[in-house]
Amino acid sequence: MSEATLVPVDALSPYPGNPRRGRLDVIVESLSQHGQYRPIVVNQRTMQVLAGNHTLEAAKHLGWDDIAVSYVDVDEDTAKRIVLVDNRSNDLAVYDDSALVGLLDELRDSDLGLLVRGSMTPRSTTSSQTSATLTLHLILPRRGC
């Protein structure tokens, strides 16, 4: 993969048939508050976004002229695999609930703070143990901070 390069947003295309449906409002808010902190991944052969389709859409929504891109040079079969793995690996990831709660508590108590709506609920695991699952509905910086 190449180093990040600034590319005009109009030079890029979303991956056709991307199965992921993103929360544009959350991504727009994140880009507004924090900027782009990692490049999107683009197939250099087609200029199609393989990872970061919704980030591109949010950047366009915000009126950005350019976006940071890392290029890969892959055939169509590999491009499909990258799109699928990128989307599915996020689905399969899990949280360390206590570490997540710790981070949220630290940020909640900071000067910037967060708006957090969620709940801790017990859930049964396959090994008959009970663990806590944190359900987060929205994590956004407080407005006006």
Assigned token pair, 40:
């999107």
* Rounded distance between C-alpha atoms, residue 129 and residue 118, angstroms: 22
What global pTM score does this model have?
0.71
pLDDT tens for 87-126 read: 787 767 777 888 878 877 777 766 555 544 444 444 444 4
Domains assigned to the chain = 5-92 (3.90.1530.10), 97-141 (no CATH)
pLDDT digits (tens, 9 = 90+) for 14-31: 999 888 887 888 899 999
d(C-alpha 41, C-alpha 64), whole Å: 17
